[in-house]
Structure 1
Amino acid sequence: MSEILDLVGIFVFALSGALMGVRKRLDMVGMAVLAEMTALGGGLARDLILNVRPAAFQSVGYVLVPVAATVIVFFWHPHVARVMPAILVLDAAGLGLFCAVGTEKAMVYGLSPLHAALLGVTTAVGGGMIRDVLAGEIPTLLYDRQLYAVPAMLGSAVMAGLSWAGWHGWPATLAAAVLAFGLRLAAMRRNWRAPLARGLGD
């Protein structure tokens, strides 16, 4: 079940990477690279920091799902763009899932709650950061004007706290993921923004 949820999150993140490729007028290879990096980059960074074999290299599905997303966007990107509101909801779900799972894995490997939470955020937003750098954009992590990283931070912090307190398994993961998901959805619907430095307007 956890792998299925992983693959769903990877698919949604890959769609956003491939769509970025379309906006940047990249060819299919460039779209595939952005899709793969968006979907897998955060998990790869997490596993390399933990010094374990990346999950992406343990199952062919982790590599093939972003390829499938690229093909879909390559042929039907106008239709995919039209259903972006639904994709953004799934993206928020993937964000919540990845930050919770990443934090839990880091705790299992003996990291402190603080470092585990940081690694959970890396898992959730690292792929998007790599995507933006490759596409020549300022990473959204550096101007979190749509409260994307903040929900991941909160979800990761809650997951680390629950794990530290002895709460493990899917109930703790679900609680942290739902919290991050809910905050992200609320930010999208209410147009919440992170504050700028004092004296700067929107």
Structure 2
Amino acid sequence: MDWKFGDFTIIDLIAATTNAFNAALLARRPDHYKHFTVVGILLLGVIGGLAGGIARDILLLQTPAALLNPAYLILALVAAGAALATDYRSGQALRGGLFQFATSLALPWYAIIGAAEAMDAGLPHLAAVLIGVVSATAGRYLVDLTCRVTPKLFIRSEWYVGTTVLAAVAYLVCAAGFRLGVWPATLIAFVVAFVFRYAAMLRGWEEPEPWEPPELQAAENPGPPVHERRDQEPGSGPG
């Protein structure tokens, strides 16, 4: 059992806690919720919070820190419980805004610590970015699969994978390029990725899709654009 709290461990715990909170909120969303029990929500929070760090450590041939330090499991459970309580007491508008904020807050941390740990292990910068992306997306991937939803990192969204790449690259530029310490590099990379992700969610910036095959285009008969459909609905005036 290891209760040590160095700089990397503290950042890793922040990543685990914020991702556990976000995963528990996600499991309560209508597109993910499958009549989970309270225990089920807590377990999904733990999975979402710890899977990224475990995947990272396995790729780096290390014993996962979450299996050595009890603080990871304790904080993940507390965060998932807090998310469940917040969801219960909040209205729909607050839930939507809180989830957007929590997603933007949680996503960069594992990308940063993944890149940092990979760089500390002597891996090339490209491999460090890859491990950062895997670290940041592994938890959401498992939660999506459990909820029978297409994993977020494979579908069009508000620069979900792009944010993880940005966070990892920003950390490497600060740490390896400008020789900043762990905390300054981490905070700068976090702010850059958080602002980008939150702006993308608020303004609807999305990763581009590839062109569709002609056969698929011919088979589809899309309706009018969303704004035109809204205008055609009875009683759908402004406000």
**2:17–2:49 contact (8 Å) kept in structure 1:** yes
Partner of 1:67: 77
Q: Which amino acid aligns with 2:211?
A: R
Partner of 1:11: 17
Partner of 1:158: 170
Give aligned-pair identity as a percent: 28
Report the count of equivalent residues.
202
Match of 1:172 among 185, 190, 200: 185
- Alpha-carbon separation, structure 2, partners of 1:110 and 1:76: 41
**Which is worse superposed, 82-91 or 178-187?**
82-91
The two structures have a TM-score, normalised by structure 1, of 0.86
The higher radius of gyration belongs to 2
Q: Which amino acid aligns with 2:47?
A: M
Deviations 1:82-135 (A, max 9, x none): 344234324322222221121011100011000001101111121111111122
Q: Which amino acid aligns with 1:50?
A: L
Partner of 2:230: none
- Alpha-carbon separation, structure 2, partners of 1:185 and 1:130: 23
**2:24–2:80 contact (8 Å) kept in structure 1:** yes
Partner of 2:124: 112
Q: Compared with structure 1, are the counterparts of its residues 28 and 101 closer, same or farther at alpha carbon in structure 2 (3 Å cutoff)?
A: same
Cα displacement (A) at 1:49: 0.7
- Alpha-carbon separation, structure 2, partners of 1:182 and 1:74: 26
Higher relative contact order by CA 8 Å / sep ≥ 6: 1 or 2?
Answer: 1
Q: Which amino acid aligns with 1:115?
A: A
Partner of 1:196: 209
| Structure 1 unpaired stretches of 5+ | none
The secondary structure found in structure 1 opposite 2:63 is coil
Instruction: Report which of the two has the higher share of helix.
Output: 1
Match of 2:135 among 118, 123, 148: 123
1:40 aligns with 2:43: no
| Structure 2 unpaired stretches of 5+ | 1-5, 226-239
User: How do 1:26-37 residues align onto structure 2 when only pairs under 5 Å count?
Assistant: 26-37=36-47
Cα displacement (A) at 1:69: 3.2
